[in-house]
Amino acid sequence: MISMKCPAFDCNGILDIDSIMPVDFLMRVRDAIRLMEVLASPIVIDCPFMDCMCTLVDYLREYPIRACPECWRLFRKHHYGGYHDELEEDEEEEEEDEDEDDDDDDDEEEEERGGEGEETL
């Protein structure tokens, strides 16, 4: 609901624009407002999937994970404009890092015990 003060000098009434204007005019006004917001934002994102190529508008809300409104696939957008097509890639790297940390911990424990670990030939 959009309202405004009555333009008459001595009137303190509030006018409801929704009840005065035709519905199709109000829809055009709201579409124009949305379009102005989009055009004011200089950041436009293309869907990274080659079979889609949809264009998205970045509203600068800094959400790192996006869903394409056309193909509904998820991708990660970094603030510098890079993409990660596969979200699982980062998860696999984290698991590998954790495995390496576990191996390092085992080596440190062996050194603390005086090198009494298993010998390999």
Q: What is the pLDDT of residue 81?
A: 44
Q: Is 100 helix (H, G, I), strand (E, B) or coil?
A: helix
Same domain, 1 and 27: yes
Domains held by the chain: number = 2
pLDDT tens per residue across span 89-116: 555 566 566 656 555 555 555 555 555 5
Q: What is the pLDDT of residue 80?
A: 46
In a domain, 118, yes or no: no
Higher pLDDT, 101 or 85: 101
Same domain, 29 and 47: no
Same domain, 17 and 30: yes
Same domain, 102 and 49: yes
The whole domain housing 20 covers 1-40
In a domain, 28, yes or no: yes
Sign of CA pseudo-dihedral 27, 28, 30, 31: positive
Same domain, 2 and 50: no
**Global pTM value:** 0.31
